[in-house]
Structure 1
Amino acid sequence: MRSDSRTRTAVRGGRDGGGIDGGESTADTRADAPMFMRLVAMMLLQFMVFGSWFATFGLVLVTNGLGSVIGLAYSLAAVAAIVSPMFLGAIADRFLASQKALGIAHLCGAAVMLLLPSVVTAANGALALGLIFLYMVFFQPTLGLVNSIGLRHLGGNEKLFPYMRVFGTLGWVLAGVGVGALGLSASTHLFYVTAATSFVYGIYAFSLPSTPAPAKGVRFTIGDIVGARAFKLLKSRNFLTLIICAVLTAIALGVYNSYASPFLGALGITNVAGVLAVGQAAEVAFILTIPWVVKHVGMKWALFAGMVMWGMRFLVFIAAGLVSSTGLAILGVALQGICNDFFLVLAAMYIGEVVPVKYSAQAQSMLILAVSGVGQLIGSLVSGEVFGATVGANQAATAADWTPVLIIPVFSAAITAVVWAVFFHDARRDSDSTKPAPLEVGP
């Protein structure tokens, strides 16, 4: 990427030739160093907010006598991912600039976070669940919005996306290490850290490069509320396969988010937030290999590796529990690098490359819905039931007793591997290209 301030790269329009505003304009945006650094700061702050509380939320609940609602709490977070991103995605597509939607969502989330410490300390499970659901209604759509904003302003430089996204991972690492160093892994005070970070980010979001609604001026319909425009993409076998496999893979993600921190606590690890940050640190290393891997093995098999590795890491966790090995547990956490980078990051890149720009916000939201919504909901609910019947029902449970909970992702990964290998066709733009062919979407 050239850093010359005179360098300008046209924003990639839709496959139908539309510009950034969905019309016929040839609006362009700077792809120089200042623009890139603004997007980097966006990713850094986005995941500092997320990483400051989400990783050890289950441990906080256990510490405050609310261990029985862990599965339900993460399930409600997944339900929020189902009901909110498509709606906000439709608004961002037509009525509200993406950077403004991002700022408003984080400012509202900061206000909700300020209410959580006293509620959780009082062990008010019902109200805590309600506040978490409300917070996630605001937060979940922002995961798709940052991908959409980043890819739009990188223009034709989609290959730079992993290098931008890696700073999101660094943000999560910084948040985890900070929370752990402050001794807040199991403390309700971590919610204050999240609120402060979210407020700063919310203000910053309004200064991001203008990202107008791509479908501005197009008649709004009720179907836009549920993202019906993006449903057209499901006519493509590749896109449908991606969404199905995203749901299946996210079952493992639901189990991990819900019970990784209590499992590590059962192994006797005290600085849980710091250990979990090892996973994000590994992402930094692996994310930099994405361009090389895609070039040499292709998008299909790079995504396949990320999906399958979710099953492999839970086999490592099972082994760690059976032999009471903190070393194996840390190895399982470190495999986060392959699991997330070669699944979530590559999936977002794939959508950015093949989906017409006028569908981009809702397509990214559909991915978030599949991952953070449907898949994690299934994973959280199923693992919650299994946890309640095994570990939760045994006051003397040790790490070895976690096997029934940890085996769930192994089965989901096996199913995913078969579906992906059989049904996804690795089409290219041309015989010499490493880029996937664009989706053919009707009017």
Structure 2
Amino acid sequence: MNIIKIRLSAMMFLQFFIWGGWFVTLGTFLAQNLNATGSQTGMAFATQSWGAIVAPLIVGLIADRYFNAERILGILHLVGAVLMYQLYRAESFGSFYPFVLAYMILYMPTLALVNSVAFRQMNDPAKDFAKIRVWGTVGWIAAGLIISYGFSWDSQQAIAAGLLKNTFLMGALASLILGIFSFTLPETPPAAALGERLTLRDALGLDALGLLKDRNFALFFLSSVLICIPLAFYYQNANPFLTEIGVENATGKMTIGQISEVLFMLVLPIFLKRFGIKLTLLIGMIAWALRYALFAFGDADNLVFMLILGIALHGICYDFFFVSGQIYTNSKAGEKFKSSAQGMITLATYGVGMLIGFWVAGKITEKFTVADGHLWQNIWLFPAAFALAVFVLFTLTFNKEKAHADEGLLSQGSTE
């Protein structure tokens, strides 16, 4: 691996180390240390969706027109370090929320910026990107292992002592390092300077709206938005659930999901080619229902294997639906609307879909909150039933067709 690839890999490692270092345990911190309600926790997680909605404006209107990608990446992470430090200092939800909202509005655009920096240095992105992007997943895993096995910040004793807030301090330090490091990355001029013209319509995917005239694609689009509701339950509730019922090193164990994601990413092209897009998407959907059923009936004692299996299903849940969905979108869009179509799907899922999902998850969690914790079985049965309903809808309405597994797109798919 040459020096540029090493630097790009380090960039990816830090980018996702930062996110994985606080986002996984956010629900636990809010509930245990800031006494946040289910709705307030949903609001905090929904900042990811607001960031996803605003991100195209920042990247499409600013970064791709006026500034080098590596410079704006550095600035955003330096400001992010300050905001993350403010999260570390927050003592109430009221003082926490404005900073987490500002942070995610600045962080979400950096996901596109690191890809821009990486792609611009590659002669063969289809071959090289996966080898660099995988270091992002390694960074996410490393953060979880450090929290659980390095410092035990997610243990019951540490949480009671208020030590879980140290995850924000760790994130602030990593953000500071990446902010400074970004200015040493290879120069990545704005698209306008290279003769490329990216409009806001491109960034938001508006030019690809015509794809919704295709019945199959419209059904897939609707299902993508709906399946984000069960997805939000995992992001928001998995760590608080595991911690509350007494699973030791919950954050470290949750990294099994990222390991699973990497493994199933390797299987996905073969599966798509052999069985087609409909069956692949359906397996992804039913995996969501199965994982939540496992969470509903598992426990921290004799049935802890059910919880571990539910975590390990993350690779199938995410890769077989969201990554294969990106591939399907790519195959339907054609050359003219590839970028617009991906922008539209991202905005619909991580923007609108997750925004609705976190709101629903917050309301359901609040409804089943009791004096000594939560009625977790009731909470998990809701997304299980919802995912099953989406599965049935898709089974009955989507006509079978094939999509080619575009290796270049496949390598971009992971979002933890």
Contact 1:89 1:362 in 2 (8 A): no
1:325 maps to 2:294 = no
Structure 2: stretches of 5+ with no match in the other structure? 410-416
Encode CA deviations 1:219-238: one digit per residue, 9 max, x unaligned: 88775785534545555556
Cα distance change, pair 34–322 in 1 and its aligned pair in 2 (3 A) = closer
Cα distance, 1:244–1:259 mapped onto 2, change above 3 Å: same
2:364 is equivalent to residue 396 of structure 1? no
Give the one of 120, 129, 138 matched to 2:97: 129
Match of 2:75 in 1: 104
> Alpha carbons of 1:269 and 1:154: their partners in 2 closer, same or farther (altered >3 Å)?
same
| Residue number in structure 2 paired with 1:175 | 143
Are the counterparts in 2 of residues 86 and 227 from structure 1 also a CA contact under 8 Å? Answer: no
Match of 2:45 in 1: 74
The 1:94–1:360 alpha-carbon spacing in structure 2 relative to 1, beyond 3 Å, is farther
Percent same amino acid among aligned pairs?
A: 34
The answer for the alignment partner of 1:57 in structure 2 is 26
Q: Is the 8 A contact 1:43 1:167 kept in 2?
A: yes
Aligned-pair CA distance for 1:85: 2.0
In the TM superposition, residue 328 of structure 1 has moved relative to its aligned partner by 1.6
Residue of structure 2 equivalent to 1:16: none
Cα RMSD of the aligned pairs, angstroms, is: 3.5
2:202·2:343 contact (CA, 8 Å) conserved in 1? no
Looking at structure 2, the residues matched to 96 and 355 of structure 1 have their Cα atoms a distance apart, in angstroms, of: 29
Given the alignment of the two structures, is residue 90 of structure 1 paired with residue 64 of structure 2, yes or no?
no
How far apart, in 1, do the equivalents of 2:405 and 2:31 lie?
Answer: 47
- After superposition, the C-alpha distances for 1:14-47 in whole angstroms (9 at most, x for unaligned) are xxxxxxxxxxxxxxxxxxx666545433332221
**d(CA) in 2 for partners of 1:211, 1:418:** 47
- Structure 2 counterpart of 1:20: none
Q: Summarize the Cα distance change of 1:414–1:111 in structure 2 as closer, same or farther, 3 Å threshold.
A: same
The alpha-carbon deviation at position 80 of structure 1 amounts to 3.1
Aligned match of 2:177 in 194, 197, 200? Answer: 200
Instruction: Say if 1:101 and 1:425 are closer, same or farther in 2 by CA, change over 3 A.
Output: farther
Letter in 2 for 1:426: E
CA 1:109–1:234: 2 relative to 1, 3 Å: farther
Provide the aligned length of Structure 1 versus Structure 2. Answer: 394
Deviation at 1:241, TM superposition (A): 4.3
| Correspondence for 2:13 among 22, 25, 44 | 44
How far did residue 358 of structure 1 move?
A: 7.7
Q: CA deviation at 1:129?
A: 1.1
SS of residue matched to 2:165: coil
Report the more deviating stretch, 349-358 or 373-382: 349-358
Question: CA separation in 2, counterparts of 1:90 and 1:299?
Answer: 31
| CA shift for structure 1 position 167 | 2.5
Partner of 2:401: 426
Counterpart position of 1:416? 390
Q: Which amino acid aligns with 2:361?
A: S
* Structure 1 stretch displaced more, 45-54 or 197-206: 197-206
Contact residue 80 and residue 137 of structure 1 kept, 8 A:
yes
- Distance across 2 between alignment mates of 1:136 and 1:268: 30
CA shift for structure 1 position 212: 3.9
Aligned twin of 1:28: none
Gaps of 5+ in 1: 4-32, 439-443
Structure 1 161/409 Cα, relative in aligned 2: closer, same or farther at 3 Å?
Answer: farther
The 1:246–1:160 alpha-carbon spacing in structure 2 relative to 1, beyond 3 Å, is farther
- Pick from 268, 271, 282 the counterpart of residue 304 of structure 1: 282
By percentage of residues, which structure has more helix? 2
Per-residue deviation, 1:406: 0.9
The answer to whether the 8 Å contact 1:162/1:345 transfers is no
Measure the CA separation in 2 of the matches of 1:167 and 1:219. 30
Instruction: After TM superposition, list the pairs within 5 Å mapping 1:367-406 onto structure 2.
Output: 367-390=345-368, 392=369, 394-397=370-373, 401-406=375-380
1:328-347 matches, within 5 Å, as 328-347=306-325
TM superposition score normalised by structure 1: 0.76
**Residues of 2 paired with 1:257 and 1:270: CA distance?**
19
User: Structure 1 residues 141, 360: CA separation in 2 closer, same or farther (over 3 Å shift)?
Assistant: farther
2:401, 2:152 → 1: CA distance?
47
User: Within 5 A, what are the aligned runs for 1:207-226?
Assistant: 207-208=185-186, 210=188, 212-213=190-191
Are the counterparts in 2 of residues 96 and 213 from structure 1 also a CA contact under 8 Å?
no
Aligned partners of 2:338 and 2:176: how far apart in 1? 27
Equivalences for 1:241-280 in 2 at 5 Å? 241-280=219-258
Q: Whole-Å Cα distance in 2 between the matches of residues 101 and 152 of structure 1?
A: 15
Aligned to 1:289: 267
Q: CA deviation at 1:162?
A: 4.5
The change in CA–CA distance for 1:250 and 1:320 in structure 2 (over 3 A counts) is same
Letter in 1 for 2:77: H
Q: 8 Å contact 1:163–1:288 — kept in the other structure?
A: no
